[in-house]
Amino acid sequence: MRFDVFTLFPQMFQGPLTESIIKRAVERGIIQIHIHNIRDWATDKHKTTDDYPYGGGPGMVMKPEPIFLAVEEVLGKSPEERGDTPIILMSASGRRFEQKLAEKLSQKKRLALICGHYEGVDERVREHLATMELSIGDYVLSGGELPAMVVIDAVARLVPGVIDEESKKEESFTSGLLEYPQYTRPAEFRDMKVPDILLSGNHQAIASWRLEQALKRTQQVRPDLAAKWVQAHRAKQKEEDC
């Protein structure tokens, strides 16, 4: 899978995307990450990529020309050339990025991410270039670089071969619940003991305990998710009983 990132600050991506799981996936050729400096497509000698907003107001707005030129050169000028590659604008006003969308995007061969900055980007980028607008939460950041890294990490780890397939099945949000508590050696640390059930070797009992704990944790932290899970679980049982 290939990621193309369009940004004014390419150096921001050097640390997070060159360590751990992502680094190994790149080294093994499972994913490719290409960072493109939008300034390289600026049309004046000063490499200007932002300007004052029409109508007045604070801050600066990213100009459309460099962004359009960058995306068109890398992905192609026409929709036919770009194929089904999502062109994602990272923006606080976008759709909230969630696990199910990460799973859907991980099935693509290529993703393009545009990182907004300053007061945002010219509306023509949103209306006529981007095919999707994403936010990672209900808060405002300095730019789209950190959100783009979050999307890359969340999507890349779902690409087959990046991590163990079994690990994905029991992660938070994948099942609809937050993940159950995890323990490892030693069995006792500073008088804090691992629950006896996990040492019992009874896999059926352990599975039941984990589900119970996952539901409990979700009800405490994300009651909205717990309610959805309970509703879906009851509907499934009712369907099986018919």
Q: Binding site membership: which residues? A: 116, 136-141
| 218 Cβ contact partners less than 8 Å away, ≥ 6 residues apart | 177, 178, 225, 226, 229
Tokens linked to 124 = 């023509």
Taking the C-alpha atoms of residue 2 and residue 24, their distance in angstroms, rounded to an integer, is 15
Query: CA nearest 91: which of 35, 151, 39, 42?
Result: 151
Taking the C-alpha atoms of residue 40 and residue 38, their distance in angstroms, rounded to an integer, is 5
| 205 Cβ contact partners less than 8 Å away, ≥ 6 residues apart | 197
- Residue pair 90/130 in contact (Cβ under 8 Å)? The answer is no
- Residue pair 176/229 in contact (Cβ under 8 Å)? The answer is yes
Number of Cα atoms under 13 Å in the Cβ half of residue 5: 26
Q: 151's torsion region: left (phi>0), alpha (psi -120 to 50) or beta?
A: alpha
Binding site for S-adenosyl-L-methionine, by residue number, is: 116, 136-141
Mutual angle of helices 223-241 and 203-221, in 10-degree steps: 130
Taking the C-alpha atoms of residue 6 and residue 231, their distance in angstroms, rounded to an integer, is 41
